[in-house]
Structure 1
């Protein structure tokens, strides 16, 4: 193999999202697009006649933005939200010209032309972004679509009250802007009894009254479950589409979407007193059957999520620390020789949900999904 071929192979293997065969991968990530579609249907049912978008930022929460968006589009979703201009451009290539795609973080200075070429709508979060988008519309010679975001109490993105008052006082403030939505974002929607939710809703009502008349959007995944007063004209679910529980204090109303399985590399018998893994934080008290699997923090598996894998429904605890590319399991609960090299153990799936893994790691399901790496063989199934 010459140097050019070696470089080409290296770039191909390293490329984010490059397909990896099942034989070449150490682990398999299965994404159930049928479950994504069913979750969208369930959210739509709760919304009644209210329109429902799909949030597919961060490459579809790490599961494949193009694949997830195509499944949602097949279910009738016609409005999508991403975080960055680059994500929007890639999604436009994947979906074609029909769906509306909005960039939640707004358009970076200098990116207006690329956004216009990709037919992307901007989410306007500041007077500066509004002025830049207005200038882009003037250059384009026609109106450009935009959603105006107001800060109703999260203090993250969106125009604060003083800024809303300032831009609405300018008679030319919205020249060239086709305001398609006025929106905001809830900070504590997963806490349905918290008064901050109603406080934000009332502030949202107050601010949107100052702006050009347009459909309103407030509810995220958990916000949909706060009830009709929060639904307005458009809901913007993200996490719930991917099987993360939008109602943490109650049973999950969503279907699971993800299954993560890792291959066994080898099995062995450990003698009493054997130290396992970096730092020997675990030592065997008696002889113990162990297996090493091909998964680690290099694949996005959090070191703090040191709990267990499953095989035939049997829990196999982790031994010692999670390494970059491997984890050691206690397989003494299995019959001798039941587990062998090449078998698959489950890390996320029927025996252990993404929310449970997140709890073990002291984080949230969002971070677990978006951390999952690109060394996996990815399977997309429809049910």
Structure 2
């Protein structure tokens, strides 16, 4: 039997750091770039910056990306020697905070470039930064025209631009013409910045020759998500989520279960209640579609997913496995992140990054 969550916790989240490192090696091989970084935003996609970052560093990953300045500060504490880029722009007046933690902003506008360059001049140093040129996402970044016009301007050197990057829109969609368009646009901009490293490939882009550059920056696939939907997942699973069965009961035909009586037993059924719910980051939208594995058998959710509880129909599970105190697996044993995401009407990314802090977290390497 799988280890039970410690007393006081309804769920146990096991994070396999060896699998994380193996995934980084696999993605490095696929990307065929001189360097492969790691995206550790959203608390390393729910796996923990303080644990995932050093594990990847030990494997040979020297460059990391986060979303927010606060994440960068946490990453710096765990990775004192790494290059750490902050993706979500450069808020006005934030240069001192970036410099205090030796973080590199990803600059996405002419104003941001000018402000970072001014901070460098004022300090008498050239702290590095990345330049983000938008090639189709229309979220952050200079336009291609702006990026081309900026090339050769002295402010580029003053801002310490040491990385040119863009963000792929739909690299996971096979043969999407937009990916080819983005790669071509990025190549135009890249040619205007000779001698500056470039980065385009995300997790899915690592598998596309057209997206190769100097630095790959995978995220989701590092943590076990499938970078090639429609194909077998080449990545090793990193997270496993289990919850304790609190109670098992027999119900007769016609009885209901859960809030609003949304489920009605079609015949005699055996139900098990799990100590886990949407307050733990497991989506309420999984109601009626989610599953958990008990004794090797997939058992469907019945009734609404509650804040702290989920009800399973364990009629088909072995009687000795569906008992009070036994574990049920919600991620793992064939229920991968992408499957769990589909059951919730969302994507594996949301499942992974939404995993709550109430679980007992166990790290294995």
User: TM-score of the superposition, structure 1-length normalised?
Assistant: 0.90
Partner of 1:61: 45
DSSP-derived class of the 1:185 partner: coil
DSSP-derived class of the 1:159 partner: coil
Supply the distance in 1 between the matched residues of 2:176 and 2:202 (Cα, whole angstroms). Answer: 16
Partner of 1:367: 350
Q: Residues 1-383 of structure 1: matches in 2 within 5 Å?
A: 22-48=6-32, 50-96=34-80, 98-168=81-151, 171-211=153-193, 213-227=195-209, 229-305=210-286, 306-336=289-319, 338-382=321-365
Supply the distance in 2 between the matched residues of 1:335 and 1:29 (Cα, whole angstroms). Answer: 24
Question: More deviation in 238-247 or 310-319?
Answer: 310-319
**Cα deviation digits, residues 234-268 of structure 1 (max 9, x gap):** 00000110010000021111101110000111111
DSSP-derived class of the 2:128 partner: strand
Supply the distance in 2 between the matched residues of 1:338 and 1:134 (Cα, whole angstroms). Answer: 63
Tell me the matched-pair count: 359
Change (3 A) 1:338 1:241: closer
Shift of 1:334: 2.8
Shift of 1:276: 0.5
Supply the distance in 2 between the matched residues of 1:233 and 1:207 (Cα, whole angstroms). Answer: 14
Listed as ranges, the gaps of 5+ residues in structure 1 are: 1-20
User: TM-score of the superposition, structure 2-length normalised?
Assistant: 0.95
Supply the distance in 2 between the matched residues of 1:270 and 1:212 (Cα, whole angstroms). Answer: 71
DSSP-derived class of the 2:61 partner: coil
Shift of 1:166: 4.5
Supply the distance in 1 between the matched residues of 2:142 and 2:118 (Cα, whole angstroms). Answer: 19
Shift of 1:90: 0.8
Question: More deviation in 139-148 or 299-308?
Answer: 299-308
Supply the distance in 2 between the matched residues of 1:194 and 1:167 (Cα, whole angstroms). Answer: 29
Q: Is the 8 A contact 1:179 1:212 kept in 2?
A: no
Partner of 1:15: none
Question: Root-mean-square deviation (CA), in Å?
Answer: 1.5
Supply the distance in 1 between the matched residues of 2:348 and 2:155 (Cα, whole angstroms). Answer: 40
Listed as ranges, the gaps of 5+ residues in structure 2 are: none
Supply the distance in 2 between the matched residues of 1:107 and 1:89 (Cα, whole angstroms). Answer: 14
**Cα deviation digits, residues 143-173 of structure 1 (max 9, x gap):** 010111101112122100332244347x442
